[in-house]
């Protein structure tokens, strides 16, 4: 029972961790409580969303599995924020959650070098300051050169439904009661977090005719760059979702039962997700709102059961019945599963290196909700990175760490390990300061060379990404070479496509950068671009529209890299720097870093703070 890599937990982090380790040639063991629940989508039946879609695309570009499973199990595909800039758009897919789980499990079971056992990890085995294996509830002892723990909400999990509580990692499943002790005994700082889910409704008891239908995109886009786009768009069958609303009656029912809500009675101690609050928390915090959106989402392709997105709750069953029945269209709704909250242990992510290895215990890696994150996508991305780094460590190779300007994955991990979190961490586009460089559709161009070099991405996928890059670069060079002068013919042409005339010589990208310039006008302006398909044309259009902004971000990155070697004078007064927060000043005074490089490595210090500091150091040197 000796393995190169042992992964504890068969959720989304565990799947990507075990698959990546096995595919990189290491004998890998996945320990999970229930084999049939590998890849279970415990909460909402969806993958992706704003910023989360970026994570899935990046994971796919590196050779991860989530995007491929989503394309196969998806039942509706939409681009969120489609009317906004491409940097903040996000892909989201409703999935058949049963099919997703089956595909994930079968992928694990059919992967070479990967074994799965249905057992519960009870404790970790240590030798001095390193982990060497795992002991399970069946008293089996598995030795592993590297161990990755991806336990989700199962560490001392407690489910709350009204006044009722039970020890559970997911409703109806045992929690992992003893594994936390192994982590605590090694001095890892731990805390309690809380998340929750909503009631599930028998679809046949819902009157959809009085709700707003929300269809998928007319031309659905796949998540995986490895899924053939045209075939996918033609063959993918989609189901509609529906929008409903709470009302004053709903709010009154909830307010009248605040005294029975575990969230308010002190029964729940863990901190919940700020950006995905329970319905009782929403009513409490936003009393001025007359209604809240509810998204009625099918959980499977046969649409026998619906997920009420926006109604996460831990109120008692009788209250859940009343508030569901108060919603127009759900007056006769039958609740199949009640909503619940769950509390669980997590490890302060500042206990981790950027590789996701713990600082205090060698060869031990953590990924997913155990690191304080929320969401399948954040978990999967961490799992992939932990698996990669565990293997590279075994091979005595340099760690694989993505920078903040390279990937949302890099932003997330850097945020976690340098700043930590006191509440479930969720990825947002606003967290990425270089988001113009990190668009969803550029993930394969940015990251496929890494995936190919790591042995996770096959040659065909890598070559496709390289071909895409080549075509975009060729098309963009055509635009850069093209100049327009204010001649009669040019002015007449611009008027014919609905564009304002020019008064000076301009380049094609300057015309394309206009808000009014659309994809339909691109090949009229530059007919040579017609040889590329619409997908490539659109990417060329985006590159041209954001050329000067992208260049500015790239200049900022290069400037930051160059300034990191700058020395900080020993007598430098950080309190004279305007623009630094009190927290930042206290950190600098406490650590007294000798260089900007050292300052940048202090937990919680941002690139913006380093740039401000560099300006003031230059000013001080100029004065002296």
Domain co-membership, 31 together with 118: yes
Q: Which CATH number do you get for residue 607? A: 1.10.150.570
418 — pLDDT class (breaks 50, 70, 90): confident
Residue 514, token pair as written in the block: 């206009």
- Collapsed DSSP state (helix, strand, coil) of residue 272: coil
Domain co-membership, 141 together with 207: no
Domain co-membership, 520 together with 402: no
Does the pLDDT value for residue 355 go beyond 90?
yes
Determine, yes or no, domain membership for 57: yes
Angle between helices 97-109 and 66-73 (to 10 degrees): 130
Domain co-membership, 427 together with 490: no
- Write out the E strands in 162-278: 164-167, 190-197, 200-202, 212-214, 241-245
Does the pLDDT value for residue 540 go beyond 70?
yes
Determine, yes or no, domain membership for 556: no
- In this structure, the strands spanning 114-118 and 28-32 are parallel
Domain co-membership, 242 together with 333: yes
What is the tens place of the pLDDT at every residue in 575-584? 999 888 888 8
What pLDDT was estimated at residue 622? Answer: 66
412 CB-near residues (< 8 Å, 6+ apart): 55, 373, 378, 381, 382, 425, 427, 431
What is the tens place of the pLDDT at every residue in 49-94? 999 999 999 999 999 999 999 999 999 999 999 989 888 999 999 9
Q: Which CATH number do you get for residue 484? A: 1.10.10.1800
Domain co-membership, 578 together with 608: yes
Tell me the average pLDDT across 260-289.
88
Domain co-membership, 418 together with 484: no
Q: How far apart are CA 169 and CA 33, in angstroms?
A: 10
Tell me the average pLDDT across 421-449.
93
What pLDDT was estimated at residue 602? Answer: 79
Q: Which CATH number do you get for residue 279? A: 2.40.30.260
Domain end (from 454, 476, 507): 454
Its pTM stands at 0.91
Determine, yes or no, domain membership for 78: yes
Determine, yes or no, domain membership for 555: no
Number of domains in the chain: 4
Q: What is the largest CA-CA distance in the chain?
A: 85
- Collapsed DSSP state (helix, strand, coil) of residue 324: helix
Tell me the average pLDDT across 384-407.
97
Q: Which CATH number do you get for residue 442? A: 3.50.50.60
Rg over CA atoms, the chain: 26
Domain co-membership, 449 together with 465: no
What is the tens place of the pLDDT at every residue in 171-186? 888 899 899 999 999 9
Which whole-number Å values give the CA distances from 378 to 368, 424, 564, in the listed order? 7, 11, 29
Is 576 exposed, middle or buried, given 0-12, 13-18 or 19+ CB atoms closer than 10 A? exposed
406 — pLDDT class (breaks 50, 70, 90): very high
Domain co-membership, 415 together with 524: no
Domain end (from 272, 303, 338): 338
What pLDDT was estimated at residue 111? Answer: 98
> What range defines the domain where residue 360 resides?
2-193+343-454
Domain co-membership, 209 together with 189: no
608 CB-near residues (< 8 Å, 6+ apart): 433
Determine, yes or no, domain membership for 559: no
What is the tens place of the pLDDT at every residue in 551-608? 888 887 787 777 778 889 888 999 999 888 888 888 888 888 888 888 887 777 877 8
Does the pLDDT value for residue 116 go beyond 60?
yes
Determine, yes or no, domain membership for 448: yes
Domain co-membership, 423 together with 488: no
What pLDDT was estimated at residue 624? Answer: 46
Q: What are residue 144's DSSP bridge partners?
A: 3
What pLDDT was estimated at residue 174? Answer: 87
86 CB-near residues (< 8 Å, 6+ apart): 439, 440, 441, 542, 546
Tokens 């670069």 -> residue: 473
Report the 10 Å Cβ neighbour count for 276.
Answer: 18
Domain co-membership, 212 together with 185: no
Domain end (from 395, 420, 454): 454
Tell me the average pLDDT across 522-532.
94
Determine, yes or no, domain membership for 70: yes
623 — pLDDT class (breaks 50, 70, 90): low
């Amino acid at each position: 029972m000796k393995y190169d890599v042992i992964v504890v937990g068969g959720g989304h982090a565990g799947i990507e961790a075990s698959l990546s380790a096995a595919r990189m040639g290491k004998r890998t063991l996945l320990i999970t409580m229930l084999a049939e629940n590998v890849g279970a989508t415990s909460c909402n039946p969806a993958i992706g969303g704003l910023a989360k879609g970026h994570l899935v695309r990046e994971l796919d570009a590196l050779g991860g599995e989530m995007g491929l499973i989503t394309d196969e199990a998806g039942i509706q595909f939409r681009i969120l924020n489609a009317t906004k800039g491409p940097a903040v758009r996000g892909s989201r897919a409703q999935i058949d959650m049963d099919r997703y789980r089956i595909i994930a499990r079968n992928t694990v079971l059919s992967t070479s070098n990967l074994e799965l056992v249905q057992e519960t990890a009870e404790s970790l085995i240590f030798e001095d300051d390193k982990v060497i294996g795992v002991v399970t509830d069946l008293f089996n002892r598995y030795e592993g050169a590297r161990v990755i723990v991806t336990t989700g909400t199962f560490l001392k999990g407690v489910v709350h439904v009204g006044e009722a509580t039970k020890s559970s990692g997911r409703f109806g499943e045992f929690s992992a009661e003893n594994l936390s002790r192994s982590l605590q005994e090694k001095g890892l700082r731990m805390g309690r977090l809380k998340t929750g889910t909503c009631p599930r409704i028998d679809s046949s008891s819902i009157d959809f005719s009085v709700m707003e239908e929300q269809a998928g995109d007319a031309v659905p886009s796949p998540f995986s760059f490895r899924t053939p786009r045209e075939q996918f768009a033609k063959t993918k069958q989609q189901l509609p979702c529906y929008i409903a609303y709470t009302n004053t009656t709903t709010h009154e029912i909830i307010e009248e039962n605040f005294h029975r809500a575990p969230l308010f009675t002190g029964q729940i101690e863990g901190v919940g997700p700020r950006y995905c609050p329970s319905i009782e928390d929403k009513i409490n915090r936003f009393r001025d709102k007359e209604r809240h959106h509810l998204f009625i989402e099918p959980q499977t392709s046969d649409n026998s059961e619906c997920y009420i997105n926006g109604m996460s709750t831990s109120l008692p069953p009788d209250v859940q019945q009343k508030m569901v029945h108060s919603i127009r269209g759900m007056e006769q709704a039958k609740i199949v599963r009640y909503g619940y909250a769950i509390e669980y242990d997590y490890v302060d992510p500042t206990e981790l290196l950027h590789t996701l290895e713990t600082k205090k215990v060698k060869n031990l890696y953590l990924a997913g909700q155990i690191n304080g994150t929320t969401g399948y996508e954040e978990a999967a991305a961490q799992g992939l990175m932990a698996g990669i780094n565990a293997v590279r460590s075994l091979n005595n190779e340099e760690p694989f760490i993505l920078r903040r300007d390279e990937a949302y994955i890099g932003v997330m991990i850097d945020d976690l390990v340098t700043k930590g979190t006191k509440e479930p961490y969720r990825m947002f586009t606003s967290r990425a300061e270089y988001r113009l460089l990190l668009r969803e559709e550029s993930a394969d161009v940015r990251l496929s060379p890494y995936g190919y070099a790591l042995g996770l991405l096959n040659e065909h996928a890598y070559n496709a990404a390289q071909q895409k890059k080549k075509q975009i670069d060729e098309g963009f060079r055509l635009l850069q070479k093209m100049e327009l002068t204010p001649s009669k013919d040019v002015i007449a042409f611009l008027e014919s496509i609905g564009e304002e005339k020019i008064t000076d010589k301009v380049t094609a990208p300057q015309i394309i950068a206009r808000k009014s310039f659309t994809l339909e006008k691109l090949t009229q302006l530059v007919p040579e671009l017609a040889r590329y398909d619409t997908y490539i044309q659109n990417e060329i259009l985006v590159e041209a529209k954001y050329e000067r902004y992208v260049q500015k971000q790239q200049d900022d990155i290069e400037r930051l890299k160059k300034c990191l070697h700058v020395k900080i004078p020993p007598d430098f007064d950080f309190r004279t720097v305007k623009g630094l927060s009190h927290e930042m000043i206290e950190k600098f005074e406490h650590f007294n870093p000798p260089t900007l490089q050292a300052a940048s490595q202090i937990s919680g210090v941002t690139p913006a703070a380093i740039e401000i500091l560099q300006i003031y150091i230059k000013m001080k040197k100029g004065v002296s």
